[in-house]
A and B are shown apart, each in its own frame.
Chain A
Amino acid sequence: MKRGQTARWLVRAVVIILAGWATVALWLEVERASATLWLPDTPPSLWRFDSPPVQALGSALQAVDQAVPRGSVVVIEANELAPSELFFLMMWCSYYLPRHDVVRPHVGTEGPRYVWSYPEGSLRLARASVRDLATDDGGVVGSPR
């Protein structure tokens, strides 16, 4: 009987300690979430919804959405970004341009392609494929800057 009670208190003690630990963990995560700071050069792979670059991108892409015909292929170009970061930027752009197919420059597609440069915001029409980049310069359409 006594051994049973000891075991019971032992189990309780372990679970109470773990519960306290989890409470502190929650407190720390809430603190971290409420105090997130964003640096201007945060790469796209670390962007979050509440971050300034995303808000700027969303606004800039509204103009692009209006400027190109529905169902177009929009190529995202960003010479300042590493290829892996360009991939994340492309996915963010795709989220904000749901009426269009959004791709990276080297990805082959069919038909005409619109090329949008980040962060300048220039938009141009590329005639056919990746290898045929004869373009009509459409000027700056949406700039997140």
Chain B
Amino acid sequence: MAILKTEQLTYTYSQGSPFEKTAVDNVDIEIEEGEFVGVIGHTGSGKSTLVQHFNGLLRPTSGRVLLDGKDIWEDKKNIRTVRFRVGLVFQYPEYQLFEETVYRDIAFGPRNMGLSDAEIDSRVRSTAMAVGLSDDILERSPFELSGGQKRRAAIAGVLAMYPQVLILDEPTAGLDPKGRDMILSQIEDYHKRSGCTVLLVSHSMEDVAKFATKILVMNESRLFCYDTPQAVFKRSEEIYDMGLSVPQITRVFDIMKKRGFDIHDEIYTVKYAVELVANELRKKGRL
């Protein structure tokens, strides 16, 4: 059964005022457990609004959101439980740090869950380790850390709740390439270890293509498609026309196809591309 499901989900901002805007328009989607979903779309395509429905931060104007087959708005009192099960890391999460020490900030979520001190301690330490924060950093003020460290501390604050579904809204925005790779690989590790469902919102196709098992494309408040990377990048021309980039390597192979190279498969990772080219060369006896 799908862990997350939406039925005709629609959300309109400032309904009834001159600033009215439909940010999510009639979205039906089913996300299976354990999937690593890349959510892509333009700025303003509704992707951030969409993911804020999954943990009940926004209430649909119409339509339903189901977690494990149950409407999350069925009982309003349960909405906090939903938020512990579906962890959401916002854009620039470092701006939500507030505690005196990094340790206490990471412990904030678990403490709200009402866990025991021993459990909180073990969760804080293991998630800090998972995001590469050493023990001495845990005792420092979050405001003393570097940008990348702050970001990781904030992500750890959500990870420590051990959510079944982890949603990250552009976790790498504004980081240098090294910091970006670090965070992405830590997320992937976490995904593999815990088997949780991950939704990664990004507008970098490159990042998404590397890790995602499914890709969700939003375009102008509507769901454009939700499918495997192969199937999505088969429509690379349409995606390109939307103003979104496709991975550079896909672009290269698209152009090669146009020039008459005989390539049948969809290529979206460099690793696979190298394999394919090597095979081709081997066949011709040049390698």
A, B co-complexed: no
Instruction: Write the residues of chain A forming the contact surface with B, with a CB cutoff of 8 angstroms.
Output: none
Instruction: Write the residues of chain B forming the contact surface with A, with a CB cutoff of 8 angstroms.
Output: none
